[in-house]
């Protein structure tokens, strides 16, 4: 999922929606092997000043910590290509 939004509400809503989707998938498919991968915004003083990035990181960290405690792998990166590589590595290890 993407965390590249100007305001916090869509980021938080998408993370919470993703959490519900993971819980649903876990129950339907009886899987305990779950992962959530988030593209966070790159530092940009105009679009994402430091205080906004800190708020975004706080939301991601809070949801990520809770998911991690439930056994969900959480990956976060600014670069989609790096995140894609992490997804592939995670899928290969978990396969």
pLDDT exceeds 80 at position 95? no
Cα–Cα distance, 78 to 56 (Å, whole number): 12
Q: What is the mean pLDDT of the chain?
A: 91
Please write the tens of the pLDDT for every residue from 20-65. 999 998 899 887 789 999 999 988 888 888 999 999 999 999 999 9
pLDDT exceeds 90 at position 75? yes
Cα–Cα distance, 15 to 47 (Å, whole number): 20
């Amino acid at each position: 999922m993407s965390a590249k939004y100007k305001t916090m509400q869509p980021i938080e809503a998408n993370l919470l929606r993703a959490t519900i989707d993971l819980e649903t998938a876990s129950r339907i498919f009886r899987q305990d092997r779950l992962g959530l991968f988030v593209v966070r915004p790159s530092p940009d003083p105009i679009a994402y000043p430091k205080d906004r990035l800190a708020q975004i990181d706080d939301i991601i960290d809070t949801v990520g910590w809770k998911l991690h405690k439930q056994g969900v792998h959480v990956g976060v990166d600014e670069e989609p290509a790096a995140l894609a590589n992490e997804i592939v590595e995670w899928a290969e290890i978990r396969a």
